[in-house]
């Protein structure tokens, strides 16, 4: 069986509220001990209530799991898929306990986050480790490995390229060629960014690398080279702490002043069209663009794109082979090469990130 030594796949995600009553307890889970200002929490709560108190993220994960299961079955692979979240039901602690009860001995974990940083990798690993440590003593906790950072896997990139092409096609003909590609990811504190990856700075350089590749592939597909750039959304935390900039809305103001007629917002930092996408981009940033007279479209994130679903299967088979000691190709596009399988000690743990954790 090409999935040996693994006997399960664990999809590990952020989680989100499903009913209005869930919103406050969810936000408390996310922000416990984080020093997020009260006003910011109320503001973010409003985003959720605007969507009926229901985040799209859990349904998106259900759809992704269904797509993965179908794809695995079509490829003759018998690997059960489990799902656990860091901040909402199903909580990862309950999921790994169930895995132990089901007799899972070794699992591979795919986090719904493609990049390196404390927030986008280490926090998932730490929460998983805590969940495994909490498995009741009468059960044997599985060993769980985590899939490498997959931002530059060709399948993830292909899904994003398709999203950009569809968004470009949706722009009015007269502005399509002049449209800027504005790649977007979640802002994080500058100190967390500097501490990301084994040698620091991975978060930003991974994003810049993948944006360049997506922009190149879009240029090849359309025969038109467009200017691309990188911006950030969803800043939180204290205004006194520096976070990655520019904010997407601030940058749109500048682009309007420069006379840029159209943009495609490309949420390459996100794996699905969850709340940060449907509120921060579709609601807020698109309104900013409209006010400024910029034609704007938002590209779809990877979601359940077949190229991404296939990439997940390829990543599972790649890692399984490597754990069996086989030397297999590790597909990666861009300049950085494939990411490490196992994070070295201290990976993504800068001074500031560890302070944020306590």
Ligand X SMILES: CC1=C(CCC(=O)O)c2cc3nc(cc4[nH]c(cc5[nH]c(cc1n2)c(C)c5CCC(=O)O)c(CCC(=O)O)c4C)C(CCC(=O)O)=C3C
Which of 30, 149, 214, 260 forms a contact with ligand X (CB under 6 A)?
30
- 306-323 and 57-74 helices cross at what angle (nearest 10)? 60
For tokens 């799902």, name the residue: 83
**Part of the chain binding ligand X (CB under 6 A), chosen from 114-122, 141-149, 245-253, 320-328:** 114-122
Q: Fill in the per-residue mask, 38 to 57: x = in contact with ligand X (CB under 6 A), - = not in contact.
A: --x---x----------xxx
**Part of the chain binding ligand X (CB under 6 A), chosen from 89-97, 117-125, 283-291, 314-322:** 117-125
* 72 is a site residue for ligand X (CB under 6 A): no
Has 186 been labeled as part of a binding site? yes
Has 13 been labeled as part of a binding site? no
Which of 36, 178, 241, 317 forms a contact with ligand X (CB under 6 A)?
36
Which alpha helices (H) appear in the chain, and where do they start and end? 20-31, 38-50, 57-74, 92-101, 123-133, 154-169, 173-176, 190-194, 202-222, 248-258, 275, 286-292, 306-323, 351-357
Has 339 been labeled as part of a binding site? no
CB of 30 to ligand X, least distance (A): 5
Has 254 been labeled as part of a binding site? no
User: Could you report how far apart the first and last alpha carbons of the chain are, in Å?
Assistant: 42
What H or E segment, with its residue span, contains residue 143? Answer: strand 143-146
For residues 274 and 277, what is the distance between their CA atoms, to the nearest angstrom? 5
Q: Which long-range contacts (CB under 8 A, 24 or more apart) does 220-223 make?
A: 221/161, 221/165, 222/165, 222/168
**Part of the chain binding ligand X (CB under 6 A), chosen from 26-34, 64-72, 293-301, 322-330:** 26-34
**Part of the chain binding ligand X (CB under 6 A), chosen from 66-74, 76-84, 158-166, 270-278:** 270-278
CB of 149 to ligand X, least distance (A): 11
The SS3 of residue 141 is coil
For tokens 């998932």, name the residue: 124
What H or E segment, with its residue span, contains residue 229? Answer: strand 228-233
Which of 29, 31, 98, 283 forms a contact with ligand X (CB under 6 A)?
31
CB of 92 to ligand X, least distance (A): 13
Which residues of this chain interact with ligand X, rule CB under 6 A? 14, 16, 27, 30-31, 34, 36, 40, 44, 55-57, 112-113, 117, 119-120, 186, 188, 234, 236-237, 274-276, 356
């Amino acid at each position: 069986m090409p999935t040996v030594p693994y006997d399960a796949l664990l999809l590990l995600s952020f989680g989100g509220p499903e009913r209005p009553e869930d919103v406050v307890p969810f936000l408390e889970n996310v922000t416990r001990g984080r020093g997020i200002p009260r006003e910011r929490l109320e503001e973010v709560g409003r985003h959720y209530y605007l969507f009926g108190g229901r985040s799209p993220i859990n349904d998106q994960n259900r759809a992704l799991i269904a797509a993965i299961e179908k794809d695995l079955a079509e490829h003759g692979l018998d690997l059960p898929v489990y799902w656990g979240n860091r901040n909402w039901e199903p909580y990862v602690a309950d999921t790994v306990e169930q895995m132990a009860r089901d007799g899972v001995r070794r699992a591979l974990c795919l986090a719904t986050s493609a990049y390196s940083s404390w927030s986008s990798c280490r926090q998932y690993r730490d929460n998983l480790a805590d969940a495994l440590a909490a498995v009741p003593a009468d059960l044997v906790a599985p060993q769980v490995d985590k899939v490498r950072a997959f931002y530059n896997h060709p399948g993830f990139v292909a899904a994003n390229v398709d999203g950009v092409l569809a968004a470009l096609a949706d722009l009015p003909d007269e502005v399509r060629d002049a449209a800027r590609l504005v790649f977007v990811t979640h802002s994080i504190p500058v100190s967390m960014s500097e501490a990301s990856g084994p040698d620091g700075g991975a978060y930003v350089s991974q994003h810049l690398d993948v944006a360049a590749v997506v922009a190149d592939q879009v240029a090849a597909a359309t025969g038109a080279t467009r200017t691309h750039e990188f911006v950030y959304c969803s800043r939180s935390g204290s205004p006194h702490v520096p976070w990655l900039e520019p904010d997407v809305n601030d940058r749109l103001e500048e682009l309007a002043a420069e006379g840029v007629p159209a943009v495609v917002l490309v949420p390459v930092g996100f794996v699905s069209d969850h709340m940060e996408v449907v509120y921060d981009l579709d609601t807020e940033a698109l309104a900013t663009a409209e006010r400024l007279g910029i034609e704007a479209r938002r590209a779809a994130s990877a979601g359940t794109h077949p190229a991404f679903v296939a990439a997940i299967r390829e990543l599972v088979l790649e890692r399984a082979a490597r754990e069996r000691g086989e030397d297999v190709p590790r597909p990666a596009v861009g300049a950085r090469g494939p990411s490490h399988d196992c994070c070295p000690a201290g990976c993504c743990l800068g001074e500031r990130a560890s302070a944020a954790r306590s």
